[in-house]
Amino acid sequence: MNVSEELVNQVLMIVGTGMIVVGALADLVASIGMLRFPNFFVRLHAATVGTIWGAFVPLLGAAFFAAGYSELGPYRWFVAGGAVVTAFLILLLGPVGSHALARASYKSRAAVPKPLIYDALSEKLKEGEEK
Amino acid sequence: MNVKKALILVSLIILVLTLSAAFTSSALGHYPLPLSGVRWLASWYLYTTLNPQYPKFTAMSPEAVTAIVWDYRGLDTLFETAVFFLAIVGALALMRGISLKSLAESNETTTEGAGSGLSLISKTAAKLLTPLIIAVSASIALHGHLTPGGGFQGGSAAAVAPLLLLVIFSVYFLLRRGISEKPMLTLRTAGLLGIYLTALAVVFTGLVTGVNAYVFQNQPKFDAPVGIPAYLFNTLVSGSLFLFNLSEYLAVAGGFTLVFILLSIPEELVMSLIRGEEHE
């Protein structure tokens, strides 16, 4: 293994570790938010911070780390590929899940939307555009 | 309320402390490992699961769990499958006489709002995900003899796809596209038939060729020289394990989808049907 390849591996592992640390911090922040925020819609924001910053980012970090960890041999691409696919799925599904939760709780009036600045959905529901 | 919370906290702390004390004083045995009299069995499985040097003992599968489930203790798994099938037969018997097809047809004209599903965002995500789920579940099932997984696991994962469509679109969406109880029952029966034929394949071969053979036999044994080939086109298929996994995949996917569709029948329909029969 030559020097430049070694350097690339080192950089990949450092970046990956950094992303995992960021993810751990984001998870801490999100869990504090889940405990301390006042109502459902604001807590949902904290939950999505936990999914994107606390799961998507560290999974990409794990992929980078695995790609740079040459001791694993060719198996590191399996680990990195799995992590990237999982990260992509979380990126796709996290927002959809929180969207469906927020919409369902709004329509069923299970939670009071507060703090509310502008309510476009209620106008649409009155007009009958969306059911 | 506070007393209750304090009680829960104290009992949790006591539980953790007692368990740690028990572990440190080795009251639960020195290490939580099986006894040495049992461990040779595990080594035997690991030694013979893929060992072409011992062709009369091996199951020809690198995945020891699948080899144990469908080869070493194959009959046990057959009875598990039978129990699951009987549970679904029971669900079908409870719901007999309720036609889902008429439900789907009546919904198009009458009920307003129902059957339109969730928002566009959820529907788009579901459309992206459904083929992905099917692909992943198929890989779990068809690689079951090589990597962790197997027919039941793959079939359960595949049943998530119709469940997702059922929640995000509606049951009428599935029914209009032909995913109703009859095709799912056909799929399930086809899977069970596959398991049945695979279990008896070697026996039939033995009967035809006039040699000794066993039910649920995979590779040739000492007194039974026939078996299912472990390689197909130079690819390791582990004899009957691949066929069992494929059949179980179809059976479980069909069975779970059937149960999900049955569970989503509206209660009003069931009740009106029962009451209608009483009056006539």
> For residue B50, what are its two tokens?
């893929």
C-beta atoms of B121 and A99 within 8 A = yes
- For chain B, say whether A93 makes contact (Cβ under 8 Å): yes
Mean pLDDT estimate for chain A: 87
C-beta atoms of B125 and A92 within 8 A = yes
- Taking contacts as CB-CB distances below 8 angstroms, the residues of chain B near A93 are 125, 129
- The shortest C-alpha distance from A131 to chain B (Å) reads 7
- Taking contacts as CB-CB distances below 8 angstroms, the residues of chain A near B167 are none
C-beta atoms of B119 and A100 within 8 A = yes
Closest residue in chain B to residue A85, using alpha carbons only: B132
- The shortest C-alpha distance from A87 to chain B (Å) reads 14
In a domain, B99, yes or no: yes
In a domain, B40, yes or no: no
Residues B16 and B92 placed together within one structural domain of the fold: no
The residues, any chain, with a CB within 8 Å of residue B235's CB and separated by 6 or more, are none
Name the residue among B170, B174, B160, B169 with its Cα closest to residue B132: B160
C-beta atoms of A99 and B122 within 8 A = yes
Regions of chain B short of the pLDDT cut 50: 109-112, 280
- For chain B, say whether A36 makes contact (Cβ under 8 Å): no
Name the residue among B77, B46, B45 with its Cα closest to residue B245: B77
Residue A39 Cα distances to A26, A34, A104, A112, A122, angstroms: 20, 9, 15, 8, 19
In a domain, B63, yes or no: no
> Which DSSP string corresponds to A74-110?
THHHHHHHHHHHHHHHHHHHHHHHHHHHHHHHHHTT-
- For chain A, say whether B52 makes contact (Cβ under 8 Å): no
Closest residue in chain B to residue A100, using alpha carbons only: B122
Best interface-test mutation with A: which of B116, B118, B124, B169 has the largest number of A CBs within 10 A? B118
Residues B166 and B217 placed together within one structural domain of the fold: yes
User: In this structure, how many other beta carbons lie within 10 angstroms of the beta carbon of residue B4?
Assistant: 8
- Taking contacts as CB-CB distances below 8 angstroms, the residues of chain B near A92 are 125, 128-129
Closest residue in chain A to residue B121, using alpha carbons only: A96
How large is the ipTM? 0.71
> For residue B126, what are its two tokens?
């579901």
Q: Which helix (H) or strand (E) holds B149?
A: none
Residues B141 and B82 placed together within one structural domain of the fold: yes
Residues B195 and B126 placed together within one structural domain of the fold: yes
CA-CA distance, A106 to A113, in Å (whole number)? 7
Residues 88-147 of B with CB under 8 A from A: 113, 116, 118-119, 121-122, 125, 128-129, 132
Residues B21 and B94 placed together within one structural domain of the fold: no
- The shortest C-alpha distance from A12 to chain B (Å) reads 29
- Taking contacts as CB-CB distances below 8 angstroms, the residues of chain A near B113 are 131
The pLDDT of residue B99: 67
Residues B98 and B180 placed together within one structural domain of the fold: yes
Name the residue among B228, B208, B207 with its Cα closest to residue B217: B228
In a domain, B57, yes or no: no
CA-CA distance, B15 to B19, in Å (whole number)? 6
Structural domains of chain B, count: 2
- Quickly tell me which residue has 């006042």 as its tokens: A38
C-beta atoms of A100 and B129 within 8 A = no
> The domain containing residue B18 runs over which residues?
1-32
Q: Are B154 and B140 in contact (CB under 8 A)?
A: yes
Residues B7 and B134 placed together within one structural domain of the fold: no
- For chain B, say whether A120 makes contact (Cβ under 8 Å): no
> The domain containing residue A94 runs over which residues?
3-127
Residue A73 Cα distances to A7, A69, A76, A88, angstroms: 17, 8, 6, 24
- The shortest C-alpha distance from B96 to chain A (Å) reads 33
Q: What is the CA radius of gyration of chain A?
A: 20
The pLDDT of residue A19: 94
In a domain, B61, yes or no: no
Regions of chain A short of the pLDDT cut 50: 131
- For chain B, say whether A131 makes contact (Cβ under 8 Å): yes
In a domain, B164, yes or no: yes
Residues B124 and B11 placed together within one structural domain of the fold: no
The pLDDT of residue B103: 65
Look at chain B and count its residues. Answer: 280
Residues B184 and B109 placed together within one structural domain of the fold: yes
Name the residue among B184, B164, B169, B177 with its Cα closest to residue B262: B184
Name the residue among B189, B166, B194 with its Cα closest to residue B264: B166
Name the residue among B202, B196, B255, B245 with its Cα closest to residue B224: B202
C-beta atoms of A96 and B121 within 8 A = yes
Residue B231 sits at φ, ψ, to 5 deg, of -120, 140
